[in-house]
Structure 1
């Protein structure tokens, strides 16, 4: 049905914060290794502090320390970087206070591992990002949609969200299964750089014109490695 290649890989060690660009990544049943492993929560509760309610979170970014020069390695805990570039160890006792102050979390925050019962990987198509920008009359950053994989294929814009769940998609020669199109929350309407600016027109357009879907989730049962430049075939 379509063919192309992987153009970019991204992972987000801490949900809601900006992530890191990769050259390669390990993927298994739990999703892309090191992706959305930690989250921010209100102290003493399971209530998430997320980017839709605290968009200044995206002024921060998180990355796994490089291990032996391997971009896909994950070990220990991530390093967090605030907007000005200062680096923080995940276990720094002063980090929660600094995070809360800079993102406007009046009740404070805790950084801790995320519990999840499944893994999935978000794939976004460059043709759809370009067409969305054309429809809106301005460039749209793919980063707004927080994808793990950005692919460039010969598929018509937005056609990926009409593919049947269960469709097999080969990334780097490995067979992934399409789970479903990604139903979008308000997060893409907020600037992905943490500047606290909102694009309501984009949010309304995605809801009205695209059925509130953008990108697809895929999954794999085995452990594989994918890389920028790998082929994509369906």
Structure 2
């Protein structure tokens, strides 16, 4: 049985892990999610991947930006000058911002790097991350306005406006179901567990530890869901979403 449940209202891609990403109108999919999503990393001289949620020295990273340009992935430390990676110029700009030597390196598709030219991801990134507007509204009602509950804190790939969503965090209704999103088919398999990254300051969003505390109290630590791609097809803003 196919049940129409809403539509795609936002699409996001994060070309460099932990950097801010780009809002896009169309998200091409492959077997592991949005194409070019979290395909690069920022590392130090020892090869350690940036971890702003656990190490204070990396707290500058969510203020940097990444996007997919005409010549490949680009980064910016200030939102004005954009530099293609990999390049000495991009490494130099990021190192100046960090205050210690850093460089950009492709992320391996699996938890273990397959060559010296790749960095090992800190978590399994083979998931498509989905969030609903209903859950965002529910979380905002639990917190003071100054917490700024904003989609950028949670780094989803797809934001869905669900019809007839239940109170609370209705994303969990989707676990164990398949979603037809435009021409793509995905299987929702688990909640998206949250860490302190959601509380970090980034851009005009302030540090807000109460965001993570509210998720822990009311969402069991999870906020949004993770899905795997069954049938890959481009997803576009406005595409219908149906439960199967």
Unpaired runs of at least 5, structure 1: 67-75
How far apart, in 2, do the equivalents of 1:103 and 1:145 lie? 23
Deviation at 1:95, TM superposition (A): 2.3
* Aligned ranges 1:1-234 → 2 under 5 Å: 3-45=5-47, 47-52=48-53, 53=55, 54-66=58-70, 77-104=72-99, 106=100, 108-117=101-110, 119-138=126-145, 139-154=148-163, 155-156=165-166, 157-165=168-176, 167-193=177-203, 197-234=206-243
- Does the CA-based 8 Å contact 1:17-1:51 persist in structure 2? no
Deviation at 1:150, TM superposition (A): 0.7
Unpaired runs of at least 5, structure 2: 111-124
The TM-score with structure 2 as length reference comes to 0.83
The TM-score with structure 1 as length reference comes to 0.86
How far apart, in 2, do the equivalents of 1:37 and 1:65 lie? 14
- Does the CA-based 8 Å contact 1:40-1:50 persist in structure 2? no
Cα shift readout 1:36-70 (whole Å, capped 9, x = no counterpart): 0000112242x21133232321221111114xxxx
How far apart, in 1, do the equivalents of 2:11 and 2:52 lie? 21
Deviation at 1:194, TM superposition (A): 7.2
How far apart, in 2, do the equivalents of 1:198 and 1:25 lie? 29
Give the number of equivalent residue pairs: 220
- Does the CA-based 8 Å contact 1:55-1:194 persist in structure 2? no
How far apart, in 2, do the equivalents of 1:203 and 1:62 lie? 25
How far apart, in 1, do the equivalents of 2:103 and 2:240 lie? 40
How far apart, in 2, do the equivalents of 1:194 and 1:80 lie? 18
Which stretch has the larger CA shift, 5-14 or 216-225?
216-225
Residue 134 to residue 194, structure 1, CA distance change in 2 (3 Å): closer
How far apart, in 1, do the equivalents of 2:170 and 2:232 lie? 28
Deviation at 1:191, TM superposition (A): 2.3
How far apart, in 1, do the equivalents of 2:242 and 2:21 lie? 26
Deviation at 1:135, TM superposition (A): 1.0
- Does the CA-based 8 Å contact 1:60-1:194 persist in structure 2? no
- Report the secondary structure of 1:136's partner residue: coil
